[in-house]
Amino acid sequence: MPELPEVETIRRQLAPHLEGRTLLGVQILDPRWTRPDSSEEVAAGLRGRRVVHVGRYGKYLVWELSGERFLLTHLRMTGSLLFDAPVEPLHTRVRFELDAGHRLIYVDPRRFGTGHLVAGPEERDAYLHQRLGIEPLTPEFTAEHLHALTRGRRAPIKAFVLDQRRIAGVGNIYADEALFRAGIHPLRPAGRLNKADWERVRAGIEEALGAGIAAKGASIDDFRHVDGARGSFQDRFMVHQRAGEPCPRCATTIRKLVVGGRGTYVCERCQPRPRPRARRGGARRVVSGGEQL
């Protein structure tokens, strides 16, 4: 699934092609894309509008259009946007006809992607803030903020990092890469991290996302650039999908665990497992969670 760096890569590639261009015609071939809104109404609402700016919030692309309309698109599992594709691919869901003969195609084999048209910045913000927490790579993304969000929470740090309503845009790949960089075990209860731990997590997230953007995203599945090319971050993973290989820092074998139902990769030397709290009246040790695969 595309995560923040993949969507940011698409945004950076699309913006120069789209900004200033007019949507002469929009054909929404799959009504699921706009559900619960009518695809005919959305297509009619887009027609004739100029693309003012292509932005991003979390994994959403935010298209600012003339007349203060905003198109909010999410690629979900298998969506991709192709600019001036020589051949129209199978599973084309939406066609955007632009001026000067250009064309943007939205392709999505599994059809989970969405497009919503809203009027005005208030509606835009209401839509996004209902679904998304704090955006990394902004000045508001601080250790203090993260620490405050998790006080008293027992959920593992990885589950917290993956929760889009807490932190926008980080998925399974970048959560593993960020926690490795931070030296924090994914099973550590989020509420027990101290300020210094949070500073490492914050820095780890920013570094992992930055490395992903620099490599133009990871193509381990359907993710493609707007010209159909693949990203290269999958060749630079430090731990993600590297079970059985040596840790790039200490050469300990990387292990795969399951945390919150997600395959999770960890170096348990660089990321020490949380010590179970000593039980009252006994020295019983229980290692909780994290079944081994």
Task: List interacting residues with Zn ion (CB under 5 A).
Answer: 247, 249-250, 252, 267, 269-270
Please state whether 10 falls in left (phi above 0), alpha (psi between -120 and 50) or beta.
alpha
Nearest to 172 by CA among 234, 126, 118: 234
Which is nearer to Zn ion, 32 or 269 (by Cβ)?
269
Please confirm, yes or no, whether 68 is among the known catalytic residues.
no
Do residues 27 and 94 make contact, with C-beta atoms less than 8 angstroms apart? yes
State the minimum distance, in angstroms, from the CB of residue 204 to Zn ion. Answer: 14
In the block, residue with structure tokens 């780890």: 204
Which is nearer to Zn ion, 13 or 271 (by Cβ)?
271
Please confirm, yes or no, whether 109 is among the known catalytic residues.
no
Which is nearer to Zn ion, 190 or 247 (by Cβ)?
247
Among 3, 6, 8, 177, the active-site one is: 3
Which is nearer to Zn ion, 4 or 247 (by Cβ)?
247
Please confirm, yes or no, whether 135 is among the known catalytic residues.
no
Alpha helices in the chain (DSSP H): 4-18, 39-46, 120-131, 143-149, 157-162, 172-182, 195-214
State the minimum distance, in angstroms, from the CB of residue 236 to Zn ion. Answer: 16
Among 11, 49, 56, 59, the active-site one is: 59
Please confirm, yes or no, whether 59 is among the known catalytic residues.
yes
Among 21, 262, 268, 273, the active-site one is: 262
Structure tokens at 228: 């159909």
State the minimum distance, in angstroms, from the CB of residue 208 to Zn ion. Answer: 16
Q: Taking each helix axis from N to C terminus, what angle separates 195-214 and 4-18, rounded to the nearest 10 degrees? A: 50
Question: Which residues have a catalytic role annotated?
Answer: 2-3, 59, 262
